[in-house]
A and B are shown apart, each in its own frame.
Chain A
């Protein structure tokens, strides 16, 4: 049973460019959350997708947008990249289930903005 997968593993962009990161959830999961982990920090919640809609959003600017496809996979798009966007981007999947559901994390995409 494949866990959460993310692509690409590493990415280098320059300021002002746009980037798209991809995530495939764990089998049986239909909810995808994205987190940004800056160097030396804990992950910060960006947004969560369920039934192809953004359900919750953290304190991130509109330059960060996402999408969820009918097969539950998801994309994170970042426009007008800033140096401060350099980070590890983590995708987590879960099922809506009941209480105590666990979010399972992928290996992340490391983005470097020059």
Chain B
């Protein structure tokens, strides 16, 4: 069975500050890990994904995440927050491939303060 825990249901940062959204996973098989973003009243948009290989993954809009197997973590970071980054962020895990069912965390709402 797989599960995802996102620490912090709400994170607030100042514009230009570092963004750090935490995600820990549990998986009995090598995981495939994803971060999705959801803007108000919209569907989910893929930010980045980890499948195999390089553990530091770069995504869209300046976001990146690092897969740390020893810590079972896949935290999302961005060096400098922008007002447009305000949204809900979801970490997800799947087994064997990205085509298998995604198991999502409960999400973290990011607010950016001017």
Q: Real complex partners, A and B?
A: yes
State which of A40, A44, A90, A99 has its C-beta within 8 Å of the C-beta of B43.
A90
A94–B49 CA distance with the chains assembled, in angstroms: 15
Cβ–Cβ < 8 Å partners of A108 in chain B: 42-43
A103–B93 CA distance with the chains assembled, in angstroms: 12
CB distance from B53 to the nearest CB of A (A): 10
Residue ID in chain A nearest B98 by CB atoms? A101
Interface size class of B (residues with CB under 8 A): 20 to 34
Decide yes or no whether A86 CB sits under 8 A from chain B.
Answer: no
State which of A35, A94, A100 has its C-beta within 8 Å of the C-beta of B51.
A100
B residues with a Cβ closer than 8 A to A are 4, 32, 34, 36, 42-46, 49, 51-52, 90, 92, 96-107
- Interface pair A102/B103, CB less than 8 Å apart: no
- Interface pair B100/A56, CB less than 8 Å apart: yes
How many A-B pairs with Cβ below 8 Å? 70
Which residues of A97-114 are within 8 A (CB) of B? Answer: 97-108
State which of B98, B103, B105, B107 has its C-beta within 8 Å of the C-beta of A99.
B98
Can you list, as one digit per residue, whether each of A87-98 has a CB less than 8 Å from chain B (1) or not (0)?
Answer: 000101011111
Cβ–Cβ < 8 Å partners of A71 in chain B: none
Interface size class of A (residues with CB under 8 A): 20 to 34
With A100-B51, A102-B49, A105-B36 in contact, do A43 and B44 touch (Cβ < 8 Å)? yes
- Interface pair A100/B101, CB less than 8 Å apart: no
State which of B43, B90, B96, B98 has its C-beta within 8 Å of the C-beta of A94.
B98
